[in-house]
Structure 1
Amino acid sequence: MPTITVNVDDALKERMEKHPEINWSEVTRQAIRDKIETLEVMDELTSESELTESDVVDIADKINESARERVEKESE
């Protein structure tokens, strides 16, 4: 399996360390998976659309925020 490195600031790392029971690699994998799935859906929906790339980015950002909140709730 390929490896990636994710940089987080010190404050976030400290908060993460307060929850050693959480598999942060899995949280990251799921967030990446969700992002890819969102992008693929957006590609399908917009392949014949008149939306601009900026419109698509705005919509994707809103979806990502919702997904991020869901992952955070699942991690609690």
Structure 2
Amino acid sequence: MNRVDREPSYRVDFWSAVGASEEWQLTEVADVTEVLAWAEERADGRTFVVYAEFVHEGGHGMIRLLGAEPPGV
């Protein structure tokens, strides 16, 4: 069965040069463009990864939409 999530949540992970991460969950956003603008405004020179979060029978999952984790993470 296909299902469209009308209130998706997103996760943004910011990565510093030393490999430390700061993770945020965003809900109640209009769409992914709002998430990307939010992340760009707060990046402060850090790289970031954006995921869409979803729920399935086995639990929770994430789909990477933009970026990549640093090597070795």
Scaled by the length of structure 2, what TM-score is found?
A: 0.31
Q: Which has the higher helix share?
A: 1
The structure whose RCO (Cα within 8 Å, separation 6+) is larger is 1
Scaled by the length of structure 1, what TM-score is found?
A: 0.31
Q: Which has the higher strand share?
A: 2
Rg bigger for which structure?
1
